[in-house]
Amino acid sequence: MSKVPKKPAKSRSQELAELLARTAHAQRGEHIRVLAVGPLVYITDFFVLVTTKSARQTRAMADALNAAAKEHGFHKGRVEGQYQSPWLLADFGMVVVHVLTDEARGFYALDQLWADAEEIDLEFGAADGSGS
């Protein structure tokens, strides 16, 4: 009988990144990407990029991310940005979430800036609360 190789265990930082991405999806975030930036920068392991439809949704998203992190035993993130800002940054240490309106995401071009980062493939489905 041959043994099936085990998948390497996910790091705690990847678990947090995936939790935050799924939370963003459940909050109707769009164009969600999880990027493994650890090999490229020393300040964090992952970036999560999320698009929202308005500055108001951006702020609500940051609040939901903090609530989910706390509920799952992680520290709350420090949120940077003004209340009505089109771009908020939620810094969880090992994961940084960029929540941007569509216009801001296009303007700041973070997807192109971090194009060399490995993307973590996530499937969003019914278990994530949206069915899409």
> Are the C-beta atoms of residues 50 and 99 closer than 8 Å to each other?
yes
DSSP 114: T
Indicate if the pLDDT at residue 118 is higher than 70: yes
Q: What are phi and psi of 121, to 5 degrees?
A: -80, 125
Indicate if the pLDDT at residue 130 is higher than 70: no
Mean of pLDDT over the chain: 88
> Are the C-beta atoms of residues 51 and 67 closer than 8 Å to each other?
no
* Structural domains of the chain sorted by starting position, each given as residue range(s) with its CATH number in brackets: 12-122 (3.30.460.10)
Question: How are the residues of the chain apportioned to helix, strand and coil, as percentages rounded to the nearest 5?
Answer: 35, 25, 40
> Per-residue pLDDT tens for 5-36?
555 667 999 999 999 999 999 999 999 999 99
Indicate if the pLDDT at residue 128 is higher than 50: no
Tell me which residue of 107, 89, 105, 108 sits closest to 97, measured CA to CA.
89
> Per-residue pLDDT tens for 57-76?
988 999 999 999 999 999 99
Q: Identify the pLDDT of residue 127.
A: 46
Q: Residue holding tokens 């973590």?
A: 120
